[in-house]
Amino acid sequence: MQVKHSKYKNTGILFELLVRQITADTLDGKDSPAKDILKKYFVKSELGREYKLYETLLKRTSLTEGKATVVVNTLIESSKTLNRGAIKRQKYNLISEIQKHYDLNEFFNHKLPNYKVFAAFYTLLEITNSQEDINIEQTINNKVTILEHLAAAKITEDRVITDSMVEFEQADKGVRLLAYKTILENFNTKYDDLHPHQKEILKEFITSVDNTSRLKDFYTSKIVEIKEKLTSINKVTKNETTKIKINEIINIIQPPTKTTKITDNDLVDLLQYYDLINELETING
The pTM assigned to this predicted structure is: 0.59
Neighbour count for residue 224 (Cβ, 10 Å): 12
What is the identity of the amino acid at 200? E
**Element at 185 (helix H, strand E):** helix 175-185
Angle between helix 196-207 and helix 264-284 axes, rounded to 10 deg:
170
End-to-end CA distance of the chain: 69
Question: Would you list the DSSP string of 75-139?
Answer: HHHHHTTS-HHHHHHHHHHHHHHHHHHS-HHHHT----TTHHHHHHHHHHHHHHT-SSPP-HHHH
Cα distance between residue 199 and residue 278, in whole Å: 14
Helix, strand counts (H, E) of the chain: 14, 0
HEC states along 32-56? CHHHHHHHHHHCCCHHHHHHHHHHH
pLDDT at position 169 is: 29
Question: By three-state DSSP, how is residue 251 classified?
Answer: helix
Q: Which of 3, 45, 31, 37 is nearest to 17 (CA)?
A: 37
Backbone dihedral angles phi then psi of residue 283, each to the nearest 5 degrees:
-65, -45
Comparison of pLDDT for 283 and 163, the residue scoring more: 283
Comparison of pLDDT for 16 and 154, the residue scoring more: 16
pLDDT tens per residue, range 167-216: 222 333 444 444 444 444 443 344 455 677 877 877 777 666 656 788 88
What is the identity of the amino acid at 253? I
pLDDT tens per residue, range 53-72: 998 888 887 887 778 888 88
Per residue in 234-267, is it b (16+ CB within 10 Å) or e — as a string? beebeeeeeeeebeeebeeeeeeeeeeebebebb
pLDDT at position 85 is: 94
pLDDT at position 279 is: 83
Does residue 32 register a pLDDT over 50? yes
Cα distance between residue 28 and residue 193, in whole Å: 13
The stretch 106-120 carries a mean pLDDT of 88
